[in-house]
Structure 1
């Protein structure tokens, strides 16, 4: 991927047509750093800890964007583990791939139809991506996450539960912070996870106004693939 003055293609973080567009991997990185007020690493390492990933795990990051969380997960699983980040934007995937550690790969794909086999992963993580999906596709995407998890596998999804007050100030910078303005609250995150067939194991709030849900694919669940294929 060339990094010049060319206009990058739209980035649709976590969705297909109809989702919210974020233009430019570098702009996305800048706005994410500003939006976290210099605490991006602490915030994402906290999410990694909440996900329960362990050395040697196989992990999928949904709506990975430029791959920041994916790379933090890769550190946690170590050289014996693997992490795959997926996003529908070739631009951000190209950007992420240039920064990928040896145990980390990136693929262009949407959350609604994951290009992975049933039970392929020990854990699935997703941060600030679900709200970008069209509302009618959110349960479908979560069922796909359940399908690619092994029975007993772990899910962590996080999104904004309220509009962080500091992002209102960030908006004063104008077009460079378009991504910050697209973070809409996801009050029904736990309900979506339950409707997708997961067994919730925990939830809570983290700075800055993040709400997370932890869940597992039930051990007795053998039908996730069939359900995910239903219209």
Structure 2
């Protein structure tokens, strides 16, 4: 699979509602990558930070703790439902705020920002060059960018093996390189050129490879399979094909996960690029 072997993502509607339904499991699954992003960023007290694709606000709250009461952590997400949940979870952190908006065009209050951050929230733009030029315009000169994006599909069996298993039971869309999807920014040459064209300099990246617990710590193979098929768009294709196909795909995915399950859960290898750059 390359950049977009999946259905179009309606993050403002159904996709956002599915994320909200599984928000605690999703956050548990992604927590280690979010923590690595925040740690590598070296956020300073008093900074004004824009968090793109904030979802339920996990990273935004950690950013808020780092900037302290004199700073600002503003989470931006296109899903009204997720933003409402993020607001609810940020009680007691007055320096943390949230807004609903499409990051490709929105101009959130509180700018210009000292830093732009995103954990897996910038891979779904229809026009990435235009979107990143716009994001750069929200930043102060010299502002820092820190993002986590999925690395190349071959480095991410957590997704590729699920697709292989489900693809044996239902036809999956053909990959379209660089189309909106989890792997849109996975190619090292593409994401570097994209940021440089948008006016960022001092580019750096680090590859983080580690197992990811599908469905969070302690998930059984059955729970992990139910989570994965409910949370990711390939599961929607199995659902649409009918209950028989869904049941067969679920059983096959449970078998896959049973083969790797441990007392900690269902670990599958994952790889993430941690990107950093600075606005000129």
TM-score by length of 1: 0.72
**2:105 maps to which of 108, 113, 123:** 113
Aligned-partner Cα distance in 2 for 1:198–1:92: 30
Matched with 1:184 is 183
1:170–1:88 Cα change, 3 Å: same
Partner SS, residue 115 of structure 1: coil
Partner SS, residue 133 of structure 2: helix
Aligned-partner Cα distance in 2 for 1:64–1:11: 16
**2:146 equivalent to 1:152:** no
Aligned-partner Cα distance in 1 for 2:120–2:52: 10
Partner SS, residue 216 of structure 1: strand
**Contact 1:119 1:151 survives alignment (8 Å):** no
Aligned-partner Cα distance in 2 for 1:116–1:22: 20
**Contact 2:27 2:58 survives alignment (8 Å):** no
**1:90 maps to which of 80, 84, 100:** 80
Q: Give the alignment of 1:74-85 within 5 angstroms.
A: 74-85=64-75
The runs of 5 or more residues in structure 1 that have no matched partner are: 1-9, 174-181, 219-231
1:118–1:44 Cα change, 3 Å: closer
Aligned-partner Cα distance in 2 for 1:205–1:184: 14
**Contact 1:194 1:200 survives alignment (8 Å):** no
Matched with 1:23 is 17
The runs of 5 or more residues in structure 2 that have no matched partner are: 1-8, 167-180, 210-269
**2:49 equivalent to 1:59:** yes
Q: Give the alignment of 1:124-139 within 5 angstroms.
A: 124-134=116-126, 136=127, 138-139=128-129
**Contact 1:200 1:213 survives alignment (8 Å):** no
Partner SS, residue 182 of structure 2: coil
Matched with 1:161 is 151
Partner SS, residue 22 of structure 2: helix
1:93–1:11 Cα change, 3 Å: farther
Query: In the comparison of the two structures, how many residue pairs are matched?
Result: 189
TM-score by length of 2: 0.60
**2:27 equivalent to 1:49:** no
Matched with 1:141 is 131
1:170–1:72 Cα change, 3 Å: farther
1:133–1:29 Cα change, 3 Å: farther
